[in-house]
Structure 1
Amino acid sequence: MNLDNLLETLVGKLRSWVEAFVEMLPNLIVAVLVLATFWFISRLVYKGVCRALDRVQTNAAARDLMARILSVAIVLLGVVVALGVLNLDKALASILAGAGVIGLALGFAFQDLASNLISGVGLAVNQRWPFKIGDLVETNDVFGVVKKIQLRTSTIETLDGKIVILPNRQIYQGKVINHSATGRRRVDVECGISYGDDLEKVTSVVQKAIEDLDGRDQSRDVQFFFTGFGDSSINFVVRFWIEYEQQTNFLQAQSHGILALKKALDDNDIMIPFPIRTLDFGIRGGEKLAEVLSSTPLTINNGKAKDNGAAASSSSGRDSG
């Protein structure tokens, strides 16, 4: 084949392609218009769904996710219609069949990723469980505020400013404690008083001090319980509730409770005892330590304790020598 024949074949191919393109051009224009129309409809649907869900869905992540899923579905429908306009139905069927096989293989290869995506949908769509953006939660040994809920991961900012990104599967399958779910939280303050104090007086003084706290939830009563006999004190716990917005509110309420409790006990001469230890080195057949100490006076000589009885015995020994 010489150069002339090669050029003639190439020109023939190009001419046939141009003719096919010109013949397909009307359908191609229609397909582009179909895609543009479906894309425009998807944007309208996204905004409309977001506005509609604002009335029934307080979870911003769920609202956005549901609207986005509908939007993507409309765009995919537009792609199918556009391929039909271009008479590519058979090609579409082949593509879908191949995509099914590939999807099955990828499903086994990326099952963790798929699990995280499905869990992310469950986390976002569910209104009541387990949390929403802005909630203070505790899960998978992480304690902090939820910042993002995405399809694959959720982002939590800890109270000391660290950003933790958790796979949604771990959250969905694990235990979640939501401290913001009810908008209220109980504050417990524990303390102990000496065995010589009047327990009824202690109960009255402590309850009065906590009832007068600012910021306490007045709809719930203050609870007071003695909890046990300690080594040097009778222990108790006082409980009250607060309106809970963030962890700072809880810590401040706990601090104010401790300050009010300490002041009330001091004002009423109720003692918070130090740890006390009683030592007794009594030996069978010998004198008890308490008896020895009570019968042997001690004097201070140049900053050192001196046993007068022992000194006298030592002096007598030297004299007799």
Structure 2
Amino acid sequence: MDEKFNIQKSIGGIWDKMDGWLDSIILNLPNFVLAIVVFIIFLIIAKYVSRLINRLLLRKGSQDSIRQITTKVARIVVIAIGFFVALGLLNLDKVLTSVLAGAGVLGLAIGLALQGTLTNTFSGVILSFIDELQIGDWVETNGFAGEVMTISLRNIMIKESDNNYVIIPNSKIIDSPFKNFTRTPRSRVMLNCGVAYSSDLEMVQNLTKETIDGIFQQRGNEEVEFMYTGFGDSSIDFVVRFWTDVTKNKDILVAKNTAIIAIKKAFDQNNITIPFPIRTIDFTNKLSINKPKGDL
């Protein structure tokens, strides 16, 4: 009998609890509906705010990576504000406090577990806002060279001359030097060569400078520079330096190709020799099998 009474009492307690929950839901239903409506409104506001920021940055000519990151951050901030406002309408102050405390602990745990990822993320934000690296630039970094195609929160993607893509983590770019060809429209090209020891060195110097100066126009304080660098095994070596338009590595190769053809033609017309390495082979054979029998 006591057991039956206890069961009925437990069932009655459950029904009373559910009845209390139902009453609470009915009483808070307007606030719940209002919270949902407010959150939806903030979602719509976040959408239009991100579009507005994107248009403003587009008018200012900001690069794609900056616009993408800025619009995403603005959208997340507006949605987060809407979420906390909705919780406030539900009179869930304790829940709100618990959510903030839990978010702090969770953020700390995630930060410790994803140190490398977060480092790349912050590096991506930095890369997106510096003028020294933008989408479309031709760069050399970490042993790779190519055109910057995208700058994301985790990595940058460059397209090399062989039409292959390379993904480099943002932290590698921040921590390592990189060379940007596009930031400077003019660059100095250096070409090494050598002439025979019998050459008239002053004539070679003047002829080379005149040849290069006739092809590549030097501007302002720019000039064609010619210096002998040393005595080689079979030639007297020199370097000629000149300025030309360079925005990517291919421009340097094209300039060198043009300069080499022109210098070779000028040297041929003036009987100036560009020697190739000479090897001397000694055929002396002192093996005993070649000696007379009396010397054995």
TM score, norm. by length of structure 1 = 0.76
Matched residue, 2:73: 69
Any idea what SS the aligned residue of 1:228 has?
strand
Report % sequence identity: 40
Matched residue, 1:193: 195
**1:133 Cα deviation after fit:** 1.6
Q: State whether residues 66 and 125 of structure 1, in contact with CA within 8 Å, keep that contact through their aligned partners in structure 2.
A: no
Q: State whether residues 184 and 247 of structure 2, in contact with CA within 8 Å, keep that contact through their aligned partners in structure 1.
A: no
Any idea what SS the aligned residue of 1:177 has?
strand
Matched residue, 2:35: 31
Q: Is the counterpart of residue 118 in structure 1 residue 122 in structure 2?
A: yes
Residues 1-321 of structure 1 aligned to structure 2 (within 5 Å): 16-54=20-58, 56=60, 58-128=62-132, 131-213=133-215, 216=216, 218-219=218-219, 220-276=222-278
**1:5 Cα deviation after fit:** 8.9
**1:8 Cα deviation after fit:** 7.7
Letter in 2 for 1:121: V
**1:159 Cα deviation after fit:** 2.4
Matched residue, 2:291: none
Any idea what SS the aligned residue of 1:82 has?
helix
Q: State whether residues 147 and 155 of structure 1, in contact with CA within 8 Å, keep that contact through their aligned partners in structure 2.
A: yes
Q: RMSD over aligned Cα, in angstroms?
A: 3.0
Letter in 2 for 1:110: L
Q: State whether residues 27 and 85 of structure 1, in contact with CA within 8 Å, keep that contact through their aligned partners in structure 2.
A: yes
1:267-318 deviation digits (Å, cap 9, x = unpaired): 122111222457899xxxxxxx9xxxxxxxxxxxxxxxxxxxxxxxxxxxxx
**1:30 Cα deviation after fit:** 2.1
Q: State whether residues 225 and 240 of structure 2, in contact with CA within 8 Å, keep that contact through their aligned partners in structure 1.
A: yes
**1:161 Cα deviation after fit:** 2.9
Q: 2: distance between equivalents of 1:279 and 1:12?
A: 109
Matched residue, 2:288: none
**1:190 Cα deviation after fit:** 1.3
TM score, norm. by length of structure 2 = 0.81
C-alpha distance 279-106 of structure 1, shift in aligned 2 (>3 A) = closer
Q: 2: distance between equivalents of 1:120 and 1:146?
A: 13
Q: 1: distance between equivalents of 2:217 and 2:24?
A: 78
Letter in 2 for 1:38: F
Q: Could you say which structure has the larger radius of gyration?
A: 1
C-alpha distance 228-64 of structure 1, shift in aligned 2 (>3 A) = same
Q: State whether residues 183 and 247 of structure 2, in contact with CA within 8 Å, keep that contact through their aligned partners in structure 1.
A: no
Q: 2: distance between equivalents of 1:273 and 1:116?
A: 52
Gaps of 5+ in 2: 285-296
Gaps of 5+ in 1: 282-288, 290-321
C-alpha distance 81-217 of structure 1, shift in aligned 2 (>3 A) = farther
**1:94 Cα deviation after fit:** 0.5
**1:203 Cα deviation after fit:** 1.9
**1:12 Cα deviation after fit:** 6.3
Q: State whether residues 186 and 246 of structure 2, in contact with CA within 8 Å, keep that contact through their aligned partners in structure 1.
A: yes
